[in-house]
Every structure is written in structure tokens, then in C-alpha cells.
């Protein structure tokens, strides 16, 4: 009987434990395969669209399209950002979700050299903080080249504390694109 005691004990222990519920991982990030920047010359009322597209969404492979942004010097442009998932049918417009969850999203525009473009974010979330889906960009008055780094920060609350402050710090990065820019 003593030799069966460990087996009986193990069986009793195994059957008396509650089976824990399996926890499914959640992923709040959407697959982003295309970003469109629409630059509308405020005075001339003409629109230029520049696109980044990575059809499979895999950052390890080269994108199918990564436009160079070419703008006129000394011009104010109204800029809108469109974000899409082309793997869905029909194509999923993620822009609307970003707008609906604007209190946890922020587009950051960083230009190198800094004087090449002056960016002013026009749209605000319910807390009065910038979103960046709509902005105004003024090009420098002389010709030049550089980079426009467009970031989309996802800044949800963390342990009940707001992370979004209107600044780049905090949260995770959903988009990090560096467009070549020419001002002519």
C-alpha cells in the first residue's frame, strides 16, 4: 500500500486543482500597410499626395512604395494623414479609428533640418491636446532637401494615469516613417 501512496497523493492533488482559465493575448495595434500624406497648397488649391505602402506590413521587407515629398518653397500647405490596412477586403481605413481614439494617439512631425518645414498641428482631442491628423506646414523660403519623420504614438492610460501629454515621450510607436523631402 505504501508504494501506491505517492500515486494516490498526486492523483488527489491533480484532480483537486481548479483548471485556470486560459488568457488570450490582446493586440491593440492595427496592421498598417499604407500611409498617405495629402498636401494642399492653401493659395493655389492644388493637392499632392505622397504615399508609403508596405503591402505585407512586414518591416523586414522593403516597401512597395515610399514617395519623395516635393514641395514649393515659401508655401503654406494644409496636410491630412490617411492610415490604411490594405490586407483587408474592403481596405480598412484606420484613420477613423485613430480619430475616434484621439485621446490616446498623437502624430509627431520631425524635420531635418528643422528650418526646412514648420509644422503646426491643427486638430485637438477632447482634452485639448494635439492629434496631428490635420496640420499646416510652411516650407522654407529657399530651396533645400532633408527628411520628414512622421511618427504615430499610441499613448493609452497606464495604471490609471494619462500618458498623452501632447509630447512624443510615452506610449508605443505605431508608425515611424522617414520621408525624403525636397523644397524647390
Render pLDDT for 70-115 as a digit per residue (tens, 0 to 9): 999 999 999 999 999 999 999 999 999 999 999 999 999 999 999 9
Least Cα distance to 164 among 155, 173, 152, 153 occurs for: 155
Domain ranges of the chain: 28-183
The residues, any chain, with a CB within 8 Å of residue 163's CB and separated by 6 or more, are 104, 155, 156, 157, 170, 171
- Segment holding 96, helix H or strand E: helix 95-100
- CATH code of the domain made up of 28-183: 2.60.40
pLDDT per position as a tens digit, 14-26 = 444 444 444 333 4
Q: Which residue has the higher pLDDT, 60 or 100?
A: 100
pTM of the model: 0.82
| Structure-block grid coordinates of residue 36 | 498617405
Q: Which residues pair with 69 in a beta bridge?
A: 181
pLDDT of residue 59: 82
Amino acid at each position: 500500500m505504501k508504494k501506491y501512496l505517492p500515486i494516490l497523493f498526486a492523483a488527489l492533488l491533480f484532480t483537486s486543482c481548479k483548471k485556470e482559465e486560459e488568457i488570450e493575448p490582446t493586440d491593440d495595434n492595427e496592421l498598417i500597410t499604407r500611409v498617405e500624406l495629402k498636401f494642399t497648397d492653401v493659395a493655389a488649391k492644388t493637392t499632392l499626395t505622397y504615399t508609403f505602402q508596405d503591402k505585407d506590413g512586414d518591416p523586414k521587407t522593403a516597401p512597395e512604395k515610399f514617395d519623395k515629398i516635393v514641395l514649393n518653397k515659401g508655401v503654406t500647405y494644409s496636410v491630412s494623414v490617411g492610415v490604411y490596412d490594405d490586407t483587408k477586403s474592403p481596405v480598412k481605413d484606420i484613420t477613423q479609428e485613430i480619430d475616434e481614439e484621439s485621446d490616446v494617439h498623437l502624430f509627431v512631425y520631425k524635420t531635418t533640418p528643422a528650418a526646412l518645414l514648420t509644422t503646426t498641428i491643427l486638430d485637438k482631442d477632447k482634452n485639448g491636446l494635439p492629434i496631428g491628423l490635420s496640420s499646416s506646414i510652411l516650407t522654407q523660403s529657399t530651396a533645400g532637401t532633408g527628411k520628414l519623420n512622421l511618427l504615430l504614438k499610441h499613448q493609452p492610460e497606464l495604471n490609471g494615469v494619462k500618458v498623452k501629454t501632447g509630447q512624443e515621450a510615452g506610449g508605443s510607436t505605431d508608425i515611424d516613417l522617414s520621408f525624403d523631402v525636397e523644397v524647390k
